[in-house]
Amino acid sequence: MKFASLLLIASLSFAPQAFMGNASLLAAPGEGAASAPQPLAGLQRAAQLVQSAQAAPDAATRNQQLTEARQLHDTFVRENPNHPETAQADMVLGMLLTVQGKGEVAAAVAATEPAQQTAGIEQARKSLRESERAFSAASDRLNARLDALPAFVPPGTPEHQTKEMLKGNVVQARIYHAGVVEELAGTFPAGDPQGREFYQAAADRYESIYRDYRLLIAGLMARLKQGQCYRNLGDTKRALGLYSDLIEQPADLEPLRRLRVSAMYLSLDAWTSPEEKLYELALSQGENFLLGCKPEETAWPEWQAVRYHTARGYLLAVNGLKPEQTAERAEYLQHARGHAAALAEAAGPYQAAARALVAQAEAAGAAKSP
């Protein structure tokens, strides 16, 4: 039995559900839960609760759902210590602890007392380390089951289906394992040696996944995440090289579209960073890429991010213009305002930031040219 990709630890604004899976264990209550064989129904319900907790409207609801999910998980493990799906129980536990840890980080950041902040971050790290161990155990169990199968299994047989399912679950466990290491890295201040060590460890894990599955969506997702790790390590050029591996993928492959768009907005963010300052490149690449946005995709957060960073590219490029380049200045500000205004009028994660960009562009336009 296989889990659909929850992407609980992807830390991206996209959720390519085509990545892996079979939604049987994540079916909505009343759809799949009733048909799940006992004792897997309880484990299925736990997975559903973890998924709901990820999108919970408040901490109290999230904690209640996670507590119930943990009870269901623990009951399954206690009553079925030798069940063949124990690895899936490890996966549920790992995802549960990741959501819990991320919630603890948020609570620590919101705390007003330094002692509460420190204690909250330490608790979050504890949860995330437990999550890492759960994903590691899941990977070990899944690999052991996979290794026990014959090297060649005739296609179309139940054994072949089982083997392919196990392969998919192994990839998923490895993605999650790398992701939780990346989450751990993010609990340390920027530049902290221990945080850098975790980012490098996550990057190495993503590299291993990419090498093994470079022709699959999972491998390309790992490449994108590896780039983010190097970006957080301050190696912008290496991150850009990794993002380019996705941008160069065929634009007409539907399962890859979100990954490609994500790679572009991350590239734009890097080009407009203080380390690179490639504003002209960013605005030209952003404009060209936006031509490929389909009408039904305009509400995607990934496309909104491309438009936002393209607007930033124009606004930042203005500062590099010579005093006599008044026409170019006016053109750049017009494009910056146009992209930002479009985002400011649409609901989405960049609405507030886009409104700020509109104000900056208008202020720059009102100011005298240097």
Average pLDDT estimate for 143-171: 93
Residue-wise pLDDT tens digits, 187-207? 999 999 999 999 999 999 999
Residue 23: predicted pLDDT = 31
> pTM of the predicted model, to two decimals?
0.87
The model's confidence at residue 20, banded by pLDDT at 50, 70 and 90, is very low
Residue 13: predicted pLDDT = 27
Average pLDDT estimate for 146-170: 93
Question: Please, what is the average pLDDT of the chain?
Answer: 89
DSSP H helical ranges for the chain: 40-54, 59-79, 86-110, 114-147, 158-185, 193-213, 217-232, 236-247, 257-271, 279-290, 301-318, 326-344, 351-366
Residue 24: predicted pLDDT = 33
Q: Judge whether residue 63 has pLDDT over 60.
A: yes
Residue 8: predicted pLDDT = 30
Residue 1: predicted pLDDT = 30
Is 370 within 8 Å of 326 (Cβ atoms)? no
Q: Judge whether residue 290 has pLDDT over 50.
A: yes
Nearest CA among 182, 74, 94, 185 for reference residue 140: 94
Percent of the chain past pLDDT 70, that is, above it, reads 89
CA distance 249 to 244: 9
Residue 351: predicted pLDDT = 97
